[in-house]
């Protein structure tokens, strides 16, 4: 009976901590398990997705015309010297 109660308390505590402070388990290269806070992972800045072509001069909101488009971040597209598409960004 004591063992069941201990397990029950452990499960309740785990669920409570999981709700209050979400964690993510990750396995390192050496096989050790590490715990990372999900809030730390979510704190990374989410970048806006744009579409670019290999030879184009613009970045696009979506596929604009014919051609092969590749997903990119807005920051990366601007670093390549691309400007926004006049059709997509009216």
Q: Position of tokens 């290269």?
A: 29
Q: Which residue has the higher pLDDT, 40 or 90?
A: 90
The percent of residues in the chain predicted with pLDDT above 70, rounded, is 58
The counts of H helices and E strands in the chain are 3, 6
d(CA 7, CA 72): 48
Q: Which residue, among 57, 42, 50, has the nearest Cα to 75 in the 3D structure? A: 50
pLDDT at 57 over 60: yes
d(CA 78, CA 12): 49
Q: Which residue has the higher pLDDT, 8 or 61?
A: 61
**In the structure, what pLDDT confidence band is assigned to residue 41 with cuts at 50, 70 and 90?**
very low
Reported pTM: 0.49
């Amino acid at each position: 009976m004591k063992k069941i109660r201990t397990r029950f308390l452990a499960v309740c505590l785990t669920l409570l901590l999981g709700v209050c402070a979400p964690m993510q388990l990750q396995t390192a290269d050496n096989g050790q398990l590490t715990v990372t806070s999900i809030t730390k992972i979510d704190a990374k800045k989410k970048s806006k997705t744009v579409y670019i072509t290999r030879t184009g001069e613009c970045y696009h909101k979506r596929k604009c015309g014919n051609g092969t488009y590749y997903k990119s971040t807005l920051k990366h597209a601007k670093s390549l010297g691309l400007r926004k598409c006049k059709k997509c960004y009216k």
